[in-house]
Amino acid sequence: MQSDIVQVGTELVYQDDRVRIWTLDLAPGQETNIHQHPCDYVYVVLSPGQTETVCTDGTVLPGDDKVGDAVYHEAGLPHLLRNVGATPYANVIVELVSTRR
């Protein structure tokens, strides 16, 4: 992985000049490191669950994602994602590199 790429998921599985694709897997109680998406992104849920997005400004956004949900986000504040459910949570993140800020 290139050093200028911010790790936003568990594993970077593909990248080119238009997209960067990550898998994200979180066990119950597990959370990501604090990170900031450098570009807009879409995530697609593979394994459902209850999550919390905790932003560095103190905002906590609850999530209740279902399999197949596809959610678009603009690049935003640094945050972490926490699995607050009782089952593993998984998604695929597609970063839209052309929207890099």
3-state secondary structure of 35: strand
Task: State how far the Cα of 3 lies from the Cα of 6, in Å rounded to an integer.
Answer: 8
Q: What's the rounded mean pLDDT across residues 15-37?
A: 96
93 within domain boundaries: no
| Torsional sign, CA 53, 54, 59, 62 | positive
2 within domain boundaries: no
6 within domain boundaries: no
Strands (E), the chain: 11-15, 19-26, 41-47, 49-55, 60-65, 70-73, 79-83, 89-96
Give me the domain span that covers residue 44: 11-86
Whether the per-residue pLDDT at 5 is higher than 90: the answer is no
pLDDT above 70: percentage of residues in the chain: 96
Task: State how far the Cα of 78 lies from the Cα of 90, in Å rounded to an integer.
Answer: 20
Predicted local confidence at residue 1, as pLDDT = 42
Q: What's the rounded mean pLDDT across residues 72-100?
A: 95
Least Cα distance to 70 among 31, 99, 39, 41 occurs for 41
Rounded to two decimals, the pTM is 0.91
55 within domain boundaries: yes
18 within domain boundaries: yes
Domain total in the chain: 1
Residues 65/48, Cβ–Cβ less than 8 Å: yes
Provide the CATH number for the domain around residue 73.
2.60.120.10
